[in-house]
Structure 1
């Protein structure tokens, strides 16, 4: 992947954005990373069940506070994607269990990937199938000071990924909290407050007993290989209009150009690198 995928569209307005800029939704552009950490297990990848290793006795993945009903979250258009962050630093959601074992991973933010159409907006591919969008719920390991401190550590990050599939005109009522809010952040760098209940739409999928996990990288600069990926294969159904609402977001100050595509191409592991993808199942639901 080159930086070109992450640059904003060319803009001819008076205040032009820096089109050489490679900022990303995680806020860690231009961090220098040791060369040995790169080009080993880059993400996203294609997942196939037959190529995975099945484990039937994983401890459930535990979600703590992701759908609490108190507090405020901010939904922001940063010119690359739409990002959700919680404001109450004292009551931040966290993950543990499953492939994370006893380590606690603190919620950093949620963001989305999409494309020009409803058939190519996800980053990971599952069984040869692409979906309309992919949501990434980003967490960092609590044993590090913050996201910046954790992002280049081998166990620094965990990202839970959910596929979204646009189908017809029937809205997903829970997802409306964010798809409707997208209309309030059309302009670049605009933000709107939303209830923390706006993550309810992932709750059912997150309580599934089976998911795929592998060690990979960030899909934006600096692509550090510090991510424990956890991917739920069953897509969440939303309406075509709900997905379309994200394509209306602008990527430059003149408001002439939309964020049409923010997907990194699939990455192919080097021939000498055996990629271990685990299909993890538990006899108990995730919490």
Structure 2
């Protein structure tokens, strides 16, 4: 079976469409969550205990919050530009096992952000000394407290790209609905370097769009 809906892609020349009200909504709760910090051959990630009440809704379908990780540099390109970092917040439909991934670019800024700086420092300490998971090795993974909404851009999540794609690591399964936010999170070089050090995971090369449609619910020609 040929793979013809692979990720990542270059986010360029989208079909502009008007999203139905509530097409994308995020329900992660308002308080911080405890995530389990793990490492494997693909890098580090933070995994959340399964809680169906914390989810992303996409066209009326619920996808439960499962985990997040970063890629350095970004996997998706924005009009041919590769960003310093890209966040993937992974959600799963508990009835079909299909995935919805919220992608967020990170870019440079002149000033810092107290919440993200504290998070980066804490995460670095949690990851220090943790070895990649090994079969038969009994380890107790550390816990980190994080509010996922703190990892979103200040402009919010109202404007985004959408397309149907795949996992960007093996087995590259094509069961992923991608939503990539238009606006990046802006952090200082120090903060970005801390995240790269904690989550370093190489980016997969750009894949052809083939016969798919890349959609955007905003006009790319409008001012940022």
Secondary structure of 1:234's partner? coil
Name the structure 2 match of 1:133: 85
Q: 2:39 matched to 1:77?
A: yes
1:92–1:80 Cα change, 3 Å: farther
1:243–1:103 Cα change, 3 Å: same
Comparing 229-238 with 67-76, greater Cα deviation is found at: 67-76
What is the rounded CA distance, in whole Å, between the counterparts of 1:275 and 1:192 in structure 2? 40
Q: With structure 2 as the length reference, what TM-score do the two structures score?
A: 0.82
1:125–1:101 Cα change, 3 Å: same
Name the structure 2 match of 1:93: 54
Structure 2 gap ranges (5+): 133-139, 219-224
Q: How far did residue 57 of structure 1 move?
A: 3.8
Structure 1 gap ranges (5+): 1-35, 115-120, 145-149, 151-155, 250-258, 282-287
Q: How far did residue 71 of structure 1 move?
A: 4.2
Q: How far did residue 138 of structure 1 move?
A: 0.6
Q: How far did residue 275 of structure 1 move?
A: 2.2
Cα RMSD after superposing both structures: 2.3
Q: How far did residue 76 of structure 1 move?
A: 3.0
Q: 2:185 matched to 1:236?
A: yes
Contact 1:71–1:195, Cα closer than 8 Å, also in 2: yes
Higher alpha-carbon Rg? 1
What is the rounded CA distance, in whole Å, between the counterparts of 1:137 and 1:260 in structure 2? 16
Name the structure 2 match of 1:172: 113
Name the structure 2 match of 1:18: none
Q: With structure 1 as the length reference, what TM-score do the two structures score?
A: 0.65
How many residue pairs are counted as aligned between the two chains? 208
Compare the two structures and name the one with the higher strand fraction: 2
- Write out per-residue CA displacement over residues 9-63 of structure 1, whole angstroms, 9 at most, x where no aligned residue: xxxxxxxxxxxxxxxxxxxxxxxxxxx2x42011100011xx2111124223111
Contact 1:68–1:196, Cα closer than 8 Å, also in 2: no
Contact 1:86–1:92, Cα closer than 8 Å, also in 2: no
